[in-house]
Amino acid sequence: MTNIFAEIITIGDEILYGQIVDTNSQWMSAELDKMGIRVLRKVAVGDTQAAILGAVQNAQADIILMTGGLGPTKDDITKTMLMEYFGGQLVLDEGVLANLTRLFSMRGREVSLTNREQAMVPDNCQVLMNAVGTAPGMWFEHGGKVYVSMPGVPYEMKWLMANRVIPRLREKFDAPTIIHKMIKTINVPESTLSDLIEAWELALPPHIRLAYLPRMGQVRLRLTGTGRDRAQLEAEIQAEMAKVMPLIQKYVYGFDDDEIEKVVGQLLVNQGKTIATAESCTGGFVAHQLTQQAGASRYFMGGVVAYSNEVKMSQLGVQAATLQAHGAVSEETAKEMAAQVRLRYGTDFGIATTGVAGPDGGSPAKPVGMVWIALADADGVEARKLQLTTERGLNISLTNNSVLNWVRMRLEGL
């Protein structure tokens, strides 16, 4: 089997100045890895013709993927550089112009002269039409290598990769069969998982690899099998899954593209149940997570962000006496919030969050990171205390994980 190698070139002064984190190249690497294409090197260079040219000339791989340096303005010079390097000239592409006109008319605007220049493309590349943005991608073939240039805006790059680049790469290269299976766990430390599955992990055959991918209170376990025969490889992966799952079943909320909010949504749909949210410290994030899913209106009726005590009382009916006796961050308040939102919104489940998100507002009795979550259903209401971190954003995220995972376990009868 022949290995296929790729290199990723990220263009943009903002990367070199440290003004943004380069998440594009991580996403691209992960996609290439899924196809069995190995990334040899990543290079980030600035917005100068010399730097971009140097990176392109240095690239050793079979596939060179470039992002950034494409757009309607003067700092965008990749297109001209590539055209000259590969010896072409700019021509007007009617398809790109039509796409530009369509995008602009959707926004009630006309195509300016500056924008019209984006419809000029090198005549020595395949144009990769970009349905979600004005700059097209470009696919050059030269000296047995493929060079692809895409805009740096993440959602445009992702759209082009998924719809234009990956299908063409699959067609052109005969990469080995690679099968990934992701097991997604929540609320369990990496070291606990590792202890539980160590014997199984050590006995894996060499063509099946395991990786631990921790992120935001979740640990994803990724099995990667490499081979030639897809059916056989799939059977082998299934056999390994059958061995490992009984060891970790209760921590697993889903597989592959599942996200906790998606799994909860699907369980609610399947069981014909509905939910409402009463949020204080998460400030709308739980509702946002649930409504990121298309079709969320089938199970999510709505919610309250009760940030002030007044709103907790007037819009949720939390009792003044409860707030006075126990404070907003308390078991009692969390329970009233969950029970009340369930009643007022007429749903099967009510969930609530109240805590000290930080960085300020902590006290010895209620330090930053102390959070109460509550879950109400027809049988009553329960609350749980979490002690999280000192990071506001992380606390919001971890609280969301915990409360949604609780709903999942309730729906699954765990």
Pick the closer one to a copy of itself by CB: 176 or 284. Answer: 284
Q: Which of 49, 126, 266, 291 binds a copy of itself (CB under 8 A)?
A: 291
Residues 163 to 192: which contact a copy of itself by CB under 8 A?
180, 182, 189-192
Q: Which residues pair with 128 in a beta bridge?
A: 137
Pick the closer one to a copy of itself by CB: 43 or 338. Answer: 43
Pick the closer one to a copy of itself by CB: 193 or 375. Answer: 193
Smallest distance from the beta carbon of 306 to a copy of itself, in angstroms?
5
Confirm if 62 and 5 have CB atoms less than 8 A apart.
yes
Residues 104 to 133: which contact a copy of itself by CB under 8 A?
106-109, 112-115, 132
Cβ neighbours for 263, distance < 8 A, ≥ 6 positions apart: 253, 254, 408
Smallest distance from the beta carbon of 124 to a copy of itself, in angstroms?
26
Q: Which of 302, 317, 327, 362 binds a copy of itself (CB under 8 A)?
A: 302
Within 10 A of 381 (CB to CB), how many other CB atoms are there?
A: 18
Residues 32 to 91: which contact a copy of itself by CB under 8 A?
32-33, 38-47, 51, 55, 58, 71-75
Confirm if 315 and 341 have CB atoms less than 8 A apart.
no
Q: Is residue 277 near a copy of itself by the rule CB under 8 A?
A: yes
Q: How far apart are CA 287 and CA 302, in angstroms?
A: 7
Q: How far apart are CA 49 and CA 26, in angstroms?
A: 24
Residues 360 to 389: which contact a copy of itself by CB under 8 A?
360, 369, 387, 389
Q: Which of 161, 179, 286, 407 binds a copy of itself (CB under 8 A)?
A: 286
Pick the closer one to a copy of itself by CB: 285 or 372. Answer: 285
Smallest distance from the beta carbon of 406 to a copy of itself, in angstroms?
17
Smallest distance from the beta carbon of 413 to a copy of itself, in angstroms?
26
Q: Is residue 296 near a copy of itself by the rule CB under 8 A?
A: yes
Q: How far apart are CA 133 and CA 151, in angstroms?
A: 9
Backbone φ and ψ for 242, nearest 5 degrees, come out as -65, -30
Instruction: Indicate the SS3 state at residue 261.
Output: helix
Smallest distance from the beta carbon of 194 to a copy of itself, in angstroms?
5
Residue listed under structure tokens 């995008």:
103
Q: Which residues pair with 255 in a beta bridge?
A: 183
Residues 232 to 271: which contact a copy of itself by CB under 8 A?
none
Confirm if 80 and 13 have CB atoms less than 8 A apart.
no
Residues 8 to 37: which contact a copy of itself by CB under 8 A?
13-23, 25-33
Smallest distance from the beta carbon of 387 to a copy of itself, in angstroms?
6
Q: How far apart are CA 408 and CA 260, in angstroms?
A: 8
Pick the closer one to a copy of itself by CB: 173 or 307. Answer: 307
Q: Which of 35, 97, 120, 210 binds a copy of itself (CB under 8 A)?
A: 210
Q: What is the DSSP string of 232-249?
A: HHHHHHHHHHHHHHHHHG
Q: How far apart are CA 297 and CA 295, in angstroms?
A: 5
Q: Is residue 211 near a copy of itself by the rule CB under 8 A?
A: yes
Pick the closer one to a copy of itself by CB: 213 or 235. Answer: 213
Confirm if 329 and 366 have CB atoms less than 8 A apart.
yes
Q: Which of 290, 337, 356, 404 binds a copy of itself (CB under 8 A)?
A: 290
Confirm if 248 and 197 have CB atoms less than 8 A apart.
yes
Q: Which of 287, 334, 338, 339 binds a copy of itself (CB under 8 A)?
A: 287
Q: How far apart are CA 102 and CA 118, in angstroms?
A: 14
Q: Which residues pair with 277 in a beta bridge?
A: 303, 351
Instruction: Indicate the SS3 state at residue 67.
Output: strand
